[in-house]
Chains A and B, each alone.
Chain A
Amino acid sequence: MDPLAAIRETFFQECEEQLAELESGLLAMEGGDQDPETINAVFRAVHSIKGGAGAFSLEALIRFAHVFETALDEMRSGRLAPSNDVLKSMLRAADVLADLVRAAHAGDEAEHPGAATLAEELRTMSGAAGAEDESEEDWGDFEFQPMAVAVEGAEAPAAAPAGFKVAFKPRADLYAKANEAALLLRELTRLGHAEVELDAHDVPPLNEIDPEAAYLSWTVTLTGDADETSIREVFEFVDGDCELEVTPLGGSAESEGGEPAFDLSSLLARVQGDAPAEAAPEAPVEAFEPVAPPPPAPVVAPVVAAAPPPAAPPAAANETAAEGQAAGGPRKTEAGATIRVDLDRVDRLIDLVGELVINQAVLAQRVMEAGLARASAVAMGLDELEQLTREIQDSVMAIRAQPVKSVFQRMPRLVREVAAMTGKPVRLVTEGEGTEVDKTVIERLADPLTHMIRNAIDHGLENPEKRAAAGKPAEGVVKLSAAHRSGRIVIEVSDDGGGINRERVKGIAIEKGLISAEATLSDEEIDNLIFMPGFSTAAEVSDISGRGVGMDVVRRSIQALGGRITISSRPGKGSTFTMSLPLTLAVLDGMVVSVNNQTLVAPITAIVETLQPKAEDVHSLGGHARVISIRGGFVPLIDVGMALGYRNEPLPATQGVALLIEGEGGARAALLCDAIQGQRQVVIKSLEANYRQVPGVAAATILGDGRVALILDIDTIVTVSRGDMRKAG
């Protein structure tokens, strides 16, 4: 990637962070947060996006961000009250801004449909609040008074060429934000013929110099066609961090020439303690040399870029240099010290650690085989090595762990949109945003969560009239929570709506032929019908949740992550969907079994219990089909060796061990294996990377002896064994 593209990519990554900050800030304010720091954070987020967008000339983004920022500034200064309506508009503006950022990222130049109207709305808001402020050029941070530019310039002597005198005095802040005076001056020289004059009057003796302060100022005499606006544009992004004065040439003449320029030798002399500091005036520097910056600048700028000013709060140290440039000030202190790392590198590291664990196990096995005593120095050293490798593995896995916040924070917008479409007022409550889980899990959670929240609002919540009739507040509540529970992450989506209408669900299931009319089903079983493929309760397919994907798709995507989803519903009180997911996709707790001399691994999460089948419990249903009775119920007994094609004759049930498993949708089956070897945590290896998917096999792993073992895909084995008869029915 070329450097500019890389910077651009970083900018968009940061935009996402800023957008998240913006939204959470606005939501906090909507929730009654009065802290001025919140509005400041919101303002800074928009300001930074605008600043970055300016650097990449993303016009549509700049325009909208500017209007948005102006409105926020009105709010910040207290002229615009943060009423609920105002905040709602702001939140919509944040959505539009997010769309614009994404469009810009994709290089999409198309006009955003909502941007213009919303910009108008914002303009009206800020206009109504501060009628005196009509200037389009108010960039929020102005600290100097715009000059009343009289047309005196035009009356200047004909001999004097058209042009401006630009007095530019950077403040320390300018450098602290990693801006560079030399670059600004170079930019200025592009506008016409420029004579740059340095004023080093304020430079103190070397021993008194504060490396982070700004002492220099410049006067640029610019001749050419440039107008004042374009000159001011050069300094657009250092607004407020410098003193800038633009006067037309030939106007009031002041401080011509006779100012002393920077004189290093006299400065040195001063340090040495003699010679009064009276430097001789020098001729203005002819045509500013862009490559060589003015002397102290290289000292100041790199120092600032590398290390934050000591005066700044410690949090500033956490900002990358790029952020420092874009952000309008120190960010909230809660941001931890972070670095950006390519995901591929982390994955490579995880792979390597996985191999280390395997190698360590192989080594341990060899040592055992060699007949060394457990108490021998070698064996004890190996034990320590094992502990270390486990710790390394845990720490490496933790690198991939991220708070679920990144997916949770996409939901408020969704809720707003769906609420607007359905006309149901909805409040989203989130809990446990800081709960950490593997990045891949997070990424793949977004779609199912989106779908479930849509469903909760569209189908779960009643309309306001019904709610009123039921004595509930008009505003429905959708709750999204995450928590760690016994080595897994549990995510719940609940609503306080009407709950599942079991009569209707059953009716539909019968109508669609999913169950027979005579079937007696428990409440729980009825609730679970909504996960059946081809089930959709919406009487008319709505725009929101009726997109051809049902809850069965949600369940499948959760299962693909090694998770489970369950529903509990109380009529009139609401429904709760509970998803339980593994914390990582890289390791799995497995039951190691042998089948026909092959070693296989069954995921422990699916196993309910293991049992030794007794002859009297196993019944044949003809052919190879067998069932086993477990505490009065019958479940199919599946010979794993047969299902995988390892053998053609079923193993006599009494010679094996059965794993009672619960697969898709709670269907139970007993898997017959030859023997159980033990329980082990295994590193999941892809079979598809070098080969392809194999039916009945979820993935592979490498065991302690260095050999590959296959991880069973229990659901496929059950489905395949069920044969076509059940599939058709």
Chain B
Amino acid sequence: MNQIISQNGQNQAGGMKELISFRIGAQEFCVDIMAIREIRGWTAATALPQSPSFVKGVINLRGAVLPIVDLASRLGFESTEASDRNVIIVAQIGEQVVGLLVDAVSDILTVTDDVIQPTPDVASETAKSFIRGLIAMDGRMISLIGLDRVLPDMELEAA
């Protein structure tokens, strides 16, 4: 178990971590709550030309231009047909603020680091680059997502 703790890096106050969990289709995911700035309803986004398919566009967040990433599409699932029932999780990734389009926010989990199990060795590159660990809870599986790779790679795609 020590190995897992070191893999997860930060050891917050006695190894306790707060995670926010959300649904995309039938799957459950979670992210570190410290990265989350706010949660808001869906508003129509302005499409951006020449952008990857998972970038839904940009919206106005109190004067700032906020890109919206369709997390389902980003993780390799069917892209979301956004409606009023969808939710945008506004997250801070490094210096940037990004909106993540998900189906619904479900819960706040308080877990210790040792609950987070390492991602099994699967072939999917997508899984490898986004999923930082798995949490088993009440018979459900919740994947912990690392946000640092969510935005498209600047160096690769910058014109």
Contact = CB atoms under 8 A, between A and B. Distances in A.
Interface of A: 351-352, 354-355, 358, 598-599, 644-646, 685-687, 689-697, 700, 702, 706-710
Contact of A694 (B49, B63, B66): B49
22 contacts: A354-B63, A358-B63, A599-B46, A645-B49, A685-B65, A687-B58, A690-B96, A691-B96, A691-B151, A692-B154, A693-B159, A694-B49, A694-B50, A695-B159, A696-B49, A700-B65, A702-B63, A707-B46, A707-B60, A708-B57, A710-B46, A710-B49
B44 interface: yes
B67 A690 contact: yes
Contact of A697 (B49, B63, B152, B158): B49
B49 A691 contact: no
Contacts of B151: 691-692
B58 A708 contact: yes
A369 B45 CA distance: 22
A687 B136 CA distance: 39
Contacts, number: 79
B59 interface: yes
Contact of B49 (A644, A702, A706): A644
Contacts of B66: 690
Given A354-B63, A690-B98, A691-B65, A708 B46 contact: yes
B48 A694 contact: yes
Contacts of A706: 60
A43 B154 CA distance: 53
Interface string B49-74: 11100010111101111110000000
Given A689-B65, A691-B67, A598 B46 contact: yes
Interface in B89-115: 96-98
Contact of A690 (B44, B46, B64, B158): B64
A695 B62 CA distance: 25
A645 B47 CA distance: 10
B97 A690 contact: yes
A598 B47 contact: yes
Interface string B139-159: 000000000000110100111
Given A692-B154, A695-B159, A708-B59, A685 B50 contact: no
A708 B154 CA distance: 22
Interface residue tally on B, bucketed by range: 20 to 34
Nearest to B93: A690
A348 to B, nearest CB: 11
Interface in B23-56: 44-51, 55
Given A690-B64, A700-B58, A702-B65, 4 more contacts: A351-B63, A358-B63, A598-B47, A687-B58
Nearest to B59: A708
Nearest to A596: B47
B64 A689 contact: yes
A693 B158 CA distance: 7
Contacts of A685: 63-65
Given A694-B51, A697-B48, A707-B46, A687 B158 contact: no
- Which of B45, B59, B63, B152 counts the most chain A CB atoms within 10 A? B63
B141 to A, nearest CB: 31
A710 B59 CA distance: 11
- Which of A646, A690, A707 counts the most chain B CB atoms within 10 A? A690
Contacts of A694: 48-51
A646 B64 CA distance: 24
A502 B156 CA distance: 43
Top 7 A-B pairs ranked by shortest CB distance? A644-B49, A355-B63, A691-B67, A708-B46, A695-B159, A700-B65, A690-B96
B45 to A, nearest CB: 8
Contacts of B45: 708
Contacts of A351: 63
Contacts of B63: 351-352, 354-355, 358, 685, 702
A690 B94 CA distance: 10
A712 B48 CA distance: 11
Contacts of B49: 644-646, 694-697, 710
A355 B62 contact: yes
B154 A702 contact: no
A588 to B, nearest CB: 15
Contacts of B46: 598-599, 700, 707-710
B97 to A, nearest CB: 5
Contacts of A686: 65
Contacts of B48: 691, 694, 697, 710
A362 to B, nearest CB: 10
Contacts of A687: 58, 65
A424 B46 CA distance: 57
Contacts of A690: 64-67, 96-98
Nearest to B157: A692
Nearest to A358: B63
A691 B58 contact: yes
A706 B47 CA distance: 15
A108 B77 CA distance: 57
Interface in B118-146: none
A706 B50 CA distance: 23
A700 B63 CA distance: 11
A466 B126 CA distance: 71
Contacts of B58: 687, 691, 700, 708
Contacts of B51: 694
A693 B59 CA distance: 16
- Which of A351, A355, A691, A693 counts the most chain B CB atoms within 10 A? A691
A45 to B, nearest CB: 40
Nearest to B58: A708
B23 to A, nearest CB: 25
B90 to A, nearest CB: 10
A435 B46 CA distance: 39
Given A355-B62, A691-B67, A702-B60, A707 B44 contact: yes
Nearest to B55: A691
Nearest to B46: A708
A355 to B, nearest CB: 4
A687 B46 CA distance: 12
Given A687-B65, A692-B158, A693-B159, A646 B47 contact: yes
A423 B128 CA distance: 66
A352 B48 CA distance: 25
B158 A645 contact: no
A47 B98 CA distance: 53
Nearest to A692: B154
B50 to A, nearest CB: 6
A699 to B, nearest CB: 9
Nearest to A357: B63
B50 A645 contact: yes
B154 to A, nearest CB: 5
Nearest to B95: A689
A351 B61 CA distance: 13
Contacts of A696: 49-50
Contacts of B152: 692
A707 to B, nearest CB: 6
